[in-house]
Amino acid sequence: EVQLVQSGTEVKKPGESLKISCKGSGYSFTNYWIGWVRQMPGKGLEWMGIIYPDDSDTRYSPSFQGQVTFSADKSISSVYLQWTSLKASDTAMYYCARHPHVGEGWFDVWGQGTLVTVSS
Amino acid sequence: QSVLTQPPSVSGAPGQRVTISCTGSRSNIGAGYDVYWYQQLPGTAPKFLIYGNDNRPSGVPDRFSASKSGTSASLAITGLQPEDEADYYCQSYDRSLTGSVFGGGTKLTVL
């Protein structure tokens, strides 16, 4: 079964750092891009960017460039989304999703989501 | 606001047909890029539903269909069922932003 499994719920304080993960299985992990999508409470989906696990090539949405960092470890079929200093406005559900190639394309397999809550 | 515009809500009775529109611009849908649709049931991750005219992943019923014309696209759902009650999102590629863009989402209520 093709699936993406994300790390669990996080509760953090403003200013703290965080790294969440997304692990793929059931397919050739290095042949697909992985995208990150944010969903703030009660809001819609926002594309954050994509990463190619084979060489860690990344493309960020202008809205998220400089705010987050994507990384990958292909040896364990995982990609990561990282913050160095969280803000309350980072509170959201974060999804990873499989993407066929850079540029145009769908997100056909989604992780279950990681809920990040940032509160003092 | 979102690059792709969707109505906030639509509704229909069981068995009826509803459509959800997705309006973009010449830098995304109007540039010829495909439009993809997702269904998000309450409390769950989005699910890839359909793209193009009738390209559906395995398991998606043919009650769901999609179309595109000019700078807009539509998702149609026929024979509405209570389990179709969900949020629906369109997605495309924007050549100006050089990345994917989503619509703001449409909440479908089955009356």
Distance of CA B23 to the CA centre of its chain: 11
Task: Look at A104 and A16; give whichever has higher pLDDT.
Answer: A16
Contacts of B34 in chain A (CB under 8 A): 104, 106
Mean pLDDT of A75-83: 98
Give the alpha-carbon dihedral of B46, B47, B48, B50, to 10 degrees. -110
pLDDT exceeds 90 at position A55: yes
Q: How many CB pairs under 8 A join A and B?
A: 64
d(CA B97, CA B25): 12
At residue B52, the pLDDT reads 80
Least confident piece of the model among A52-56, A78-82, B54-58, B59-63: B54-58
Q: B59 CB contacts (<8 Å, ≥6 apart)?
A: none
Mean pLDDT of A88-112: 95
- The backbone torsions φ and ψ at residue A101, rounded to the nearest 5 degrees and listed phi first, read -165, 165
**Tens-digit pLDDT profile for residues A33-52:** 999 999 999 999 999 999 99
d(CA B69, CA B57): 22
d(CA A115, CA B43): 11
**Tens-digit pLDDT profile for residues B4-52:** 999 999 999 999 999 999 999 999 999 999 999 999 999 999 999 998 8
Least confident piece of the model among A10-24, A97-111, B73-87: A97-111
pLDDT band for B1, please (50, 70, 90 cuts).
Answer: confident
Of B45, B97, B98, which is closest to A112 when you measure between CB atoms?
Answer: B45
Terminal CA-CA length for chain A:
40
pLDDT above 90 covers a percentage of chain A that reads 96
Of B45, B48, B104, which is closest to A95 when you measure between CB atoms?
Answer: B45
Cβ-contact A116, A10 below 8 angstroms: yes
- The backbone torsions φ and ψ at residue B109, rounded to the nearest 5 degrees and listed phi first, read -110, 130
- Residue A118 Cα, gap to closest chain B Cα (Å): 20
The secondary element (H helix, E strand) that includes residue B106 is: strand B106-110
